[in-house]
Amino acid sequence: MKTMKGFFKVVKQSEPIKVPSQKVEGGQLDKSVVTLQELGGRNTFVCSLFGSSALCRWSPGDVVFASLYFCAHEHNGNVYQEIKVGELITMVS
C-alpha cells in the first residue's frame, strides 16, 4: 500500500452514507467521499473517509493536511483502486 502526506485544498465532500461492513459492530459503517487538490499542484484525488471521520464536515476551500493511502481490491473478478484518508487535519490561519 502506497501512502502520500501533504497539504491539500478541499474541493467538495459528499454527505455521509451507511455502508455494510463486517468489521464493525452493527454491520454498518459511515462513509463519505472528499475531493482534495494538492496545494501548488494540479493533482486532484477523490478519497474515501470512513467511521467518525466521515461525519466531520469540511468546506470547499479549506486547507487541510492529509494522509492518503492508495490500495487496490478485487470484487467479482474486477480490480478497483481506492484512495482512503488516514487522517485529515484542518489548518488554521
Length of the chain measured in residues: 93
Q: Are 11 and 60 in contact (CB under 8 A)?
A: yes
Stretch 59-71: mean pLDDT? 96
Q: Are 49 and 67 in contact (CB under 8 A)?
A: no
User: How far is it, in rounded angstroms, from Cα 78 to Cα 20?
Assistant: 19
Stretch 47-76: mean pLDDT? 94
Domain count for the chain: 1
**Residue type for position 38:** E
Q: Residue 26: its pLDDT value, please?
A: 86
Q: Residue 63: its pLDDT value, please?
A: 96
**pLDDT level of residue 51 (50, 70, 90 thresholds):** very high
What are 38-49's pLDDT values in tens digits?
998 889 999 999
Q: Residue 23: its pLDDT value, please?
A: 83
**pLDDT level of residue 3 (50, 70, 90 thresholds):** very high
Owning domain of residue 18 = 2-90
Q: Does the global pTM surpass 0.85?
A: yes
Q: What is the CATH number of the domain that holds 11?
A: 2.40.50.140
**pLDDT level of residue 59 (50, 70, 90 thresholds):** very high
